[in-house]
Amino acid sequence: MESVFLSNLGMAIGHLFDLYTLAVLAFGVAVGIFLGILPGIGGTAALAIVFPLTYGMSAEDGILFLVAVYSAAEYGGSVPAILINTPGTGASAATVLDGYPLCQKGYPRKALMISLTSGVVGGVISTIVFILFAPLLTWVGLQFGPIEMFAVGAFGLSIICTAVGKSVVKGYLSAAIGAFIASIGPSNFSGYRFTMDMAFLMDGIPLTVVFIGFFAVPQCIKMLTGDMKQKSAEEMTKSAQDDKFPLREALGLWKSMLRGSLLGSFIGVIPGAGAGVANFLSYNEEKRWSKDPDAFGTGVPEGIAGPEAANNAVVAGCLVPTLTLGIPGSSAAALIMGLLIMKGINPGPMLFKEQGDLMIAIFLGLMLTNIFLWIMGWGGTKIFYLVTKVPQRLLGPFIIVLVLTGTYAYQGNMDHPIMTMALGLFGFFLVRWGIPILPLVLAYIMAPIMEYNLIRALMISRGDIAILYNSPIAMVILVLTVLSILYGIKREKKRKS
Q: What is the pLDDT of residue 233?
A: 44
Q: What is the pLDDT of residue 303?
A: 85
What's the pLDDT tens digit per position in 53-68?
887 788 788 888 888 8
Q: What is the pLDDT of residue 75?
A: 80
What's the pLDDT tens digit per position in 326-376?
666 566 776 777 777 777 776 665 666 666 677 777 878 888 888 888 888
β-bridge mates for residue 185, sequence order: 193
Residue 189 has pLDDT above 80, yes or no: no
Residue range 419-426: average pLDDT? Answer: 87
What's the pLDDT tens digit per position in 370-406?
888 888 888 877 777 666 566 666 766 777 776 777 6
Residue 27: band (very low, low, confident or very high) from pLDDT cuts 50, 70, 90: very high
pTM: 0.66
β-bridge mates for residue 193, sequence order: 185
pLDDT above 90 as % of the chain: 0
Domain hosting 457: range is: 2-496
Residue 232 has pLDDT above 50, yes or no: no
Residue 492 has pLDDT above 50, yes or no: yes
**What average pLDDT does the chain have?**
76
Q: What is the pLDDT of residue 255?
A: 86
5-9, 181-185, 316-320 — most confident range? 181-185
Residue 236: band (very low, low, confident or very high) from pLDDT cuts 50, 70, 90: very low
Number of domains in the chain: 1
Residue 315 has pLDDT above 80, yes or no: no
Q: Which of 183-192, 307-316, 389-398 has the lowest mean pLDDT?
A: 389-398
